Structure formats: C-alpha cells, structure tokens
Amino acid sequence: MPESPIECFVCETPDARLPLTGNLDRMNHSPLPCRPKSSVPDSAPDHAIELRSRCRGVVPLDAIWSPWMMQLAAEADQVKQLIEFHGSPVNVLSTDPMRSNINDLQKVAERANVPLQIHFARKANKCAEFVRTGLLESIGFDVASESELEETLDELHGSPQHPSKDPILCTAAVKPASLIRSCVLNDVVLVIDNKDELATLRETLAGLGPTEPKARIAFRLQHCPTKFPGLPSRFGMPADELTLLAKSLCDESRIQVVGIHFHVHRSHEQFAPSFTKALIEEALHVVDRVRGLGHTVAWLDIGGGFPVNYLRDQMQWQRFLTKALASVETNGRFASDRKLTWNQRPLADIDPAWQPLSAANWIREVLTPSLANEINRRELILKCEPGRALLDCCGLTIAEVLFVKRDQNRNHLIGLMMNSSQCRTTRDDFLVDPIVISASKASAEQTKKTDHAEMEGYFVGGYCTESEYLMQRKFRFPNGISRGDFVLIPNTAAYQMHFAESRAHQMLLAENVFI
C-alpha cells in the first residue's frame, strides 16, 4: 500500500487525486438532483436492487443511494483502484450534491418571500472543499473551533468569489480568549452562550485597546422548558437572562448585538415543522424584547438540525423501531425477539434515519405565510446553519474485507480494514445497510455461480477491543461474503466519516478523495 499522508486533505492536492479518467470524470457530472424530491421516496423505482442483494440487515434498512454512488458501486474495478491507491477505508466525496442542496433551500426561501442566509456548519465535515463549494454558492459558514475559523478565513481571503455579507458566525461550544480575539479582529460574529463568555469578550476588548476594535455578537437562546418540555439543552440562556445580559450592554458602544440565535437537537417527533415554527415564534418575541432595549438586531438564526432521509422505506423503519426500542410496558426490556444487534446491544440514542420530508420540503412547511409575515414585518433576515442537510448525498465510505470467521455463537465476523472511529458519531449506530461488491466482475460472476451459502454476522474492525463492532446491527449475506470483497457505506459525508475519527493504535486516518 503506498504511504498516505496523515492529514485528511488528499483531496486538496491535485496530484494526489486518483489517477483515473473516463468514468470518474463522468461521475462528476452525474445528473442532479441526487435523490427523489418527493416527500415519500418509497414509490421511486429501486435501481439498487441488484447491488443490495448481497447484504441486508437481518432487519433490513435499505439506504437511498444517489446516482453517483450507485455508479461507483457498479464499477468494482474503480473501487478496487481507490483502495489500492489510498488504502482502506477511503472516504469518496462529491461536492455536486451540496450545490443542489443549497439551491433547493434557497428556492424555498425565495418562494416563501423570506430573506434567508445559509451558513454551512463546518463541523459536519472537515474537508475545505466544502467551504470552497459554499463560497461558489455565496453562502456563509458556521465555525465551532479556532482551526475551523482560521481555515475558513484563509479560504475566504483566497477566494475570487465575493463573500456574502457576514460570511462567518462562531458558535463554538467553548471559546478561549484567543478564539474570541480572532473573531473580534476578523469581524466574525460571536454567538454568546453565557455570561462568562461575555466577560471574556469584555476583557479581550479591553486588552485590544481603549476604543477599538468593536465586537459584533448574537445571543444564544434556550427555549422555555414549560412551553417546550422535552427539549433540555446545555446551550444558551433563558429569555429573561438573555434580556438582562443584553440590557447590561446598552451603554457599551464596543459591543453590538446584531442577532438572536438558537440551535436545538430534535428528537423524532420534534422534527414536525409546527414544532420549529413554534421555536421561531418564541425567538421572535426575544428579538422584540432585545430590540426594545435599543439594540439593532438584524437577524434571527434558527441553527441547523434540518432533517435528512437516509432510507427508502418507511415500513422498514417502523418495523426496525418496534424491534429496536425498549418498550415502557415491558419495563425497559426489548419489545420482541432481538437478533438485531451484537450482544443484544441496546440502540437507545439514534437519529431518525427515515424522515418524511427532505430539508427543503421541511423548511417549506416551517415557513408558512403567517410566519413569513411575522419575520418580514420585523424586517429581519433569517439565518440558518445546516450541516447534515447540505452534505446529504455528498460522500460514501468504502472498505476492504480482510477476513471472515466464525465466533463462538456461530455468527460470522467480517473483518474490515477499517476501525470504528471511521464511521461513527456520538449516536449508538448508523442505521443504513451497506452494499457488498466483489473485487472484480469475474469474481462477482463466480459468487453467483457457486452460490455460496447464506451467512449472517457482524462487521468488526481494527481496534483491539472486544467491542470493536463497526455497526451494531446484524447483517445477512445471501451469497456469502469473503476476503477481498468491498463494503460500501452510503451517505457518510455528514459527521459519520469525520466526527469521531481517531488515530488510536497510531492507525492512519482515512483519506478523502473527491471525484
């Protein structure tokens, strides 16, 4: 295997790109949009049936595969070359879907007659390519660390594109003085989470000189727990506390309050558009209160957390949920027989992988005419910070099968050249079925002919722990699976490929290849 750099940005250096022409170039121009626009994608013809046939969850969760990903999956030789050249696993990425995801949201806002400024939440993927794509589309960015800020500023300064007004917001969960200082010096709006952060900002300003520079800030709102039970958050401040803090700034000419911000983590039922509409309505009242103090609040930022649908079939999702979730009636025990996960592992903290609405259709339902009217009569700009929704369909992760063996319970263990940090977030599992392909067409034919016996088992990875299972769910392989096969995991660009990656065991990080 050729030596690959430790840093991720293989994607940045043209000479490190995969030395392939033809098909990969074609893929770059794959037809967009990349997935069904309808709110219920179940009815779309399933072009991936053949590809899916070699691997399914014991309780299946058929993933949506966008055309460019299916094209790659159909070209075993290209997958093989990618892995031979870059090692296993490889994150394969495309920026085209991001552009259409951005355009879809912008179109909805235009139709709803609401001035919308999109900021891409950078933490969802570390590749600077997505910043460049965002710049081409004139959107802004949301940064959550000093490195994200510095890198985004560099891209901004090096770009021929004229950036949008206020291109960067900083919502970092913890903000050291150095980050605050850098935001002030670069006129980046700081989203202030608490009183202590404001104190650090005041000190930082004092340290920078008696009158200049100025700082622009927004306050992060924590919604009222009585009105919104079931939305506990460590972030932001309740409206009263926020208003008091804003009041303390009335005589401080060096700190300008320009926005109100919120970002919430939605549980399954909180994805209902009416819920977000209510969150926005409460925030509009806070805008009024802060404006009432004399601050010129220009915008309301509704954060990210827009829905993304990973799955084809609502029925499969519902069946999975009834099997996977512990039920209250059975006192927390699992509702039914669970051949579902390794070691009966509970899947308690999961993202709703199936969603009835795409992000664009969802925001369309949030922005009702009456809400649009409430925003417009205040002459407010609406900002949002989706990460996941902008990266929908932008990447997949491919890995090589190094071994297949049996465990003591006669399950098969499929050892991948990959570790569990390479497709993981803080959730308990990534709820999509991967695709398995053979290394070449010849061996694929052979797989069909010899008709290997059906197998069931789990994907295991490179960390030397007993719990190193790459996915918690059990999978079925109707024609078997063997050494040298490839496993393709769909739609990993948002969080899945980068959020938890680690160099434990001094293993190299996966390379990121844009095609």
Ligand X SMILES: *Cc1c(COP(=O)(O)O)cnc(C)c1O
**Contact residues for ligand X, defined by CB under 6 A:** 121, 123-124, 142, 171, 263, 303-306, 385-389
Contact by Cβ (8 Å): 52, 433: yes
Between vectors from CA 506 to CA 19 and to CA 342, what angle results, nearest 5°? 95
Bridge-based pairing state of the strands 381-384 and 116-121: parallel
Q: Which is nearer to ligand X, 201 or 399 (CB)?
A: 201
Q: How far is the CB of 220 from ligand X (least distance, A)?
A: 8
**Among candidates 57, 70, 77, 80, which has minimal Cα distance to 30?**
70
Tokens of 366: 């949030």
Q: Which is nearer to ligand X, 89 or 303 (CB)?
A: 303
SS3 for 71?
A: helix
SS3 for 255?
A: strand
Q: How far is the CB of 250 from ligand X (least distance, A)?
A: 26
Contact by Cβ (8 Å): 175, 190: yes
Contact by Cβ (8 Å): 389, 118: no
d(CA 375, CA 383): 11
Q: From residue 259, give the alpha-carbon distance in Å to each of 1, 35, 46, 109, 175.
A: 51, 34, 45, 19, 18
Tokens of 122: 């950078």
11, 55, 394, 464: which one is catalytic?
A: 464
Q: Which is nearer to ligand X, 59 or 363 (CB)?
A: 363
**Among candidates 351, 272, 358, 273, which has minimal Cα distance to 36?**
358
- Helix pair angle (359-366, 273-292), 10° resolution: 60
Catalytic residue flag (residue 8)? no
Cis peptide leading into residue 33 (ω within 30°) = yes
**What is the SS3 assignment for 459-470?**
EECCCCCCCCEC
Show Cβ contacts of residue 60 under 8 Å, excluding neighbours closer than 6 positions: 316, 433
Closest chain position to ligand X (CB)? 304
d(CA 320, CA 313): 11
> What backbone phi and psi angles, to 5 degrees, belong to 261?
-130, 145
| Catalytic residue set | 464
